[in-house]
Each structure stands twice: as structure tokens, then as C-alpha cells.
Chain A
Amino acid sequence: MDLTTDTEQLALLTATADWCRDNMPLDQARARPAGLWAELEAMGWTAMTAPDMGLTHATEALVFAELGRHLAPVGLIATAVAARWSEHPGKTALALLDSHAVGGRVRVYDPAGADRALGLAGHLVATTPLPSDLGGAPGLDPSAPLAHLDPAPPFTALGDPRAGLHLQLLTAAFALGCADAARDMAADYAKVREQFDRPIGWFQALKHICADMAVRSAVARSQLYYAAAALDAGDAEAAFHAAAAMRLADQAAIENGRANIQVHGGIGMTDEAYPHMCLKRAHLLSFVAPARRDIILGEAA
């Protein structure tokens, strides 16, 4: 039993963080350059667990948390799942199927350059081909171009139920990254913003908001590691652990997102500052592969 990161994982993590800082900073998440996707592919992040790369889910989850921290394109999640379970080359967009009505709409994120979309249809991961001219414009999350398919096209399920766990795991990793970004943004601001002749982070009222953000991130991170290692080990409880990781990561992302805005005060409410970006991304991620209560309660058939 070992839930620490080994030296190879640490090296990969540092390389990822460095690359993201230089090439994919959070403050440019609204307008990513057209060539970014090709660079992400070249870095190998679109197919880390694909058969020919063969890295573990644990390593992939670590890296995705780092990518998520920089509000990387959400298409990475769908593309990585497709690469692992259908060996589909190229970009796959992320689909959110309307959970309510049959024949409802489908939301497609990151459609540019993708020839199909992948998402959860019921309990299984499924895909559908995309028209080539889909376009896409930001919805609630300004960093995620969105298109609609209306009416919903038919989806074809991937055979392996583990694909759903993989989708959930990577979404949780992105959400954790989002929670971490909000935590660090709040802490950095609390160190430099001064009121009453001292940094606001000196005051316990602010300090404790930040501490709670750190707790939520740490809790979600540990469960994510456990869930990823459970999927790698073929553990019988892997579905439970992935669902728990998803729930805690969603909560961390949304709660930290809100707290970050509060810590920033007036500037936190503006479009110009970045706190809202984390919160909006958190809301988007919470719909991708939500934790099912029957699985967390151990009642799933």
C-alpha cells in the first residue's frame, strides 16, 4: 500500500506544471490559441492510458489535476477516455446528454476539430459522430466552447463499464484542479491585498475561509488518488471510490470557487478578474459524470 507520488510521477507533474504555466495560463483560458490542441496531443496528454502509452490511471489523474488547475480544454477528458476504451485517434468532444427528456438536446463542449463526441448516456459511456461544421461559443463557462445538437442524435455505448469510471475519475481530477486553483488564487490575494494596514490574510475570518479551502482540496485529492489506484488494481470497490471522489471533488470545486470570490471582495465579482472562471468551470464539471447516490450507498444493482 502506497499512496504517495513516486519520483517519475513527481517529475511528470513538475514538467506538466511548467508547461501549463508557459503555454496554457489560466488567465488566457477564455481565448485559447487554435494550435493549442495539437500541442496538448504532442505532449501525450490525450492518450496517457491508451494501450500503446500504458500509463496508470493514478499517473493520469495526477496530471489531469494539474491540467485542470489551468482550466485546460474539457475535450481532453473525453479524448483520453476514447483513446483508452475505443482506441479512437484524434480529438473527441465532451457530450452532456440532457438527463430529463428523450429526444432532448445534447450539449457538446470543445467541438472544434472533433469528429465525434463522448459522454454518459444513462450509466454507460457512449459516443456519437459530429458534423464537421459545429462551431461553438462559450456558455456559462467562458473557457469551454459549447454547441448544441438538437434533437439529440443516437449514441453508441462503449462496451466496458470501466469507461464510465475513467470518465468520472478524469472529471474529478479536473474539478480538483479547479478547487486547487481557487484555493491558491484566494491565498495569494489574501497575502497582498491590504486593509486596516495589513494583509487581509492576517485576519482569522479570512484565514479560516482559506483553511477550509485547503481542507476541501486535500480531502478530494486523497480520495481521487485512492479511486485511481483502485481502478488500476481492479478493486471490487472501484466504482464506489470513483463516485466518492467525484462528489468530494465537485464540492471542493464549487465551494472553493465561491469562497475565492468572497476573499477577493469587490474585484471578485467582476468579469475582469479570474475567480469567476474557476466557479463557472466547477459548475460545468458537476454535470459531466455526477456521483450516483445508489453507488455511494452501496445499493447499486
Chain B
Amino acid sequence: MKDLFRGELVRFTLEEPEMRARAEVRWQHDTEFHRLADGDPARLTSEKKIKEWFEKQAEGPQPERYSFTVRTLAENKYIGFLGMWVDLIHREAWVGLGIGEREFWSKGYGSDMMKLCQQYVFSELGMERLSLGLHEYNPRALRSYEKCGFRLEGRTRKDVLREGKHYDSLWMGILREEWLQMQNGEHK
């Protein structure tokens, strides 16, 4: 059977709250990273407080929330995270991911994380579709998701106001059958 937690460049792990808080304190300082990943205002929270949040999250695995951390295979370096929200009734999953370590941007790590996520969602959780959202001002993410087989399904106009400019939010999705087709194509 396939290793669900191991891709070509990265693997899924779950780091301890101490480790996650230490990394998060650095990553939150990078407001470009924050703005690409999130629509909320950037915040600077203490390591103590962030650790408390992760400790709360670690109290027990929830059936509708899957949260992984990500390490590189080559250096075994903790570079980011990937989270999924699962609707078990309608068989839809949402995904959000981030690479906090900037030197790993634009090198295929995000796409590798996403491929692992798709495999997990379709062949472990048995979902029918995988959805995601992103900001218009993040073309790098758009290209990566397209590369992974996501289709643009819609946009919410003028959804984000930043630096005095309005931007759209984009919504993408991939269906189980589309993912299966991609898998078969690759194995031919």
C-alpha cells in the first residue's frame, strides 16, 4: 500500500505544541506570508499564547478536522502546515496550507503537499470533492493548484480590501473522478 504521509519532497508529521509555537512566532512576523494565506488582519501573538492554542488543539483528534505539519524529506526541516475540514455528510473536504519558511517557496513543495492531501482525502477519507479558496493577489498559489488538477469554479468579487485596493477571492475544486483520472494518466 502507498505511504499516505510521504510525498516526493515532503512528509506529513504532527509536531509538538512547543515546536509549532516556536515556528509560528517567526512565521507570523512575515506579513506577506500571512496575507497570502489569510484574509484576517496580521497579528503578533506571544509564543506562550500560541502554545496554549496548539495544546488545546492537541487535546484530542476530531473527526471533522485534520491538521498536519510538514517536513522536507531532504533536510528533515519543519517548513509548514496543512489543514483539512471535512464534511462527512456531503463528503466534501476543504484544505488550507502554508509554507512559513520562505526559502521553500516556488520550488514545488506546495504542490507536493497538495498531492499528498488529495491522496489522503480521496483514498483515505473517501471524499467526493476537495475545495479551497485563495486571494486574487496570490498567482503563485493559483498556478500550483491548477497544476494539481483543481478547476476555478467561481470568484467572490471585491472580497478583500488591502493597502487600499479591493481584490477578488477565488474558489477552486477537484472531484474524486477527476483525481482518479489524473492518477490513471500518470501510471500509463
Do A and B come from the same complex? no
A interface residue numbers (CB < 8 A to B)? none
B interface residue numbers (CB < 8 A to A)? none
